[in-house]
Structure 1
Amino acid sequence: MTIRSSATSTLSAPLAYGAMSLGLLGTLWVLATSVFGWVGPEVLPSPFAVMARFANLIVEPFAGAALMGHVLASLERWSYGVILAILLGVPIGIFFAWAPWFRAVMNPIFETLRYIPPFAWVPIAILWFGASTATQAMVVFIAAFPACVINAQLGVQHVDNILIQAARVFGAGQSRTLTRVVVPVATPSIITGIRIAISNGWMALVGAELVVGKTGLGFLIAQGQQNDSVSTIFVGIIAIGVLGVLIDLGVQQLERRLMPWRLS
């Protein structure tokens, strides 16, 4: 009971501060656009104009779909790329740390490729897949993959060797030590890598949609720019930010369920 109340108070304070900062930002926005007119609507529309455009986009198609259609299209492409990055990146990172021969063979390739920006792959992805979901999912994968590998590797490398030796003393083999001792201890670092991968993939997706999208939030923003609709652009930007926060909160909830002792 004490732990739960402590966790609740720990979480409520940041939420209160976050609400205050957002309220302050909204107040400044209203003052700058609707009250004093410091900024013109062609540069920064008022919050009321953005809310009106948001309501309009929910029911009326724009650039091929209503707002929810663009949201679902973006989430679909993002989920393909991120899930593949996690499924491949986490095991590869674990084996980088656990199997020196595997790291010696694969690490030079990984280190070379991870410094290539995701958007540098857009032209080749278009040649391979066309302007399709696979192209944008590939860009997401390339952006998300390194964080999964690096954090999984670091998590395994920082497992106390005493734990490994103790497992072997009790008769655990290599695979059992890895799955029952090393991976659970490395889980916090692995989840941190997944959170970074999710963020990197989300940002990369929007960039890819700006270039090759036919639906999605990035495409919505690009079409708003072509139609001189600043309010549409801001709806897309805000939707991207809100969805990113909600996704990260979901991952944090999963982290708390997997590791209830980490309540901070």
Structure 2
Amino acid sequence: MEPIVNTNMLLPMAITLFVLGVAISMFKVLREYERGVIFFLGRFQKVKGPGLIIVIPVIQQMVRVDLRTVVMDVPSQDVISRDNVSVRVNAVIYFRVIDAQKAIINVENFLQATSQLAQTTLRSVLGQHELDEMLANREMLNNDIQAILDARTDGWGIKVSNVEIKHIDLNETMIRAIARQAEAERTRRAKVIHASGEMEASQKLVEAANKLTTEPNAIMLRYLQTLTEIAGEKNSTILFPMPMALMDSLFKEVKQQSKDKN
């Protein structure tokens, strides 16, 4: 015998299951870093979360928003510096959503919008600086780009916390030119240091000469000390100049002896 199905029981059971399914789907759980933007019949109602929330099916819709910091890599951009040097620059930006309502309502896709804005801002800011400034003042450039991005994304409910230029790629010709420039700079510094040393040495020699002239026997003692140092090196032949002062004293002594004999 075929089982007899009571049609009067099916309708209440179906309604019960439908109501139970709707009741279960009403409950949503949002994590600590998530918020739910609630729309009531297409109009914004409120931002809910975190924790357990109730969303009425059909008449309410929820859009989840992640509030954690997003690390986004900015693709390499071709930049022409103010001194007409072509470089490729890569950067990374750190940002997060601080206003879920603005991030969903004011912009279609805040991730894509932030990425495109970061690329154009990177080219615009770096194009206003020379190559030497790009290589030497990265911290200043990072702060400038971060300030511009933060101001422009404020209407999207996004906070740009940091921007870092990762690397600047140069062509081989420019790398060789920079190497020659660095070599020339080091040569210039060496010459300046050598000239400064010569100036200081000359000043010290003048001071030493002034002190030696105050005592006539001091120059003779210094001369004898120099001869002693030379003799200590065990040289077979020693050539040394004869001081004119010593020659004058010898000539005076010879003339005095000649006069005494006469």
Report the TM range for the smaller structure's normalisation: under 0.3
Structure index of larger Rg = 2
TM-score between the two structures when normalised by the length of structure 2? 0.21
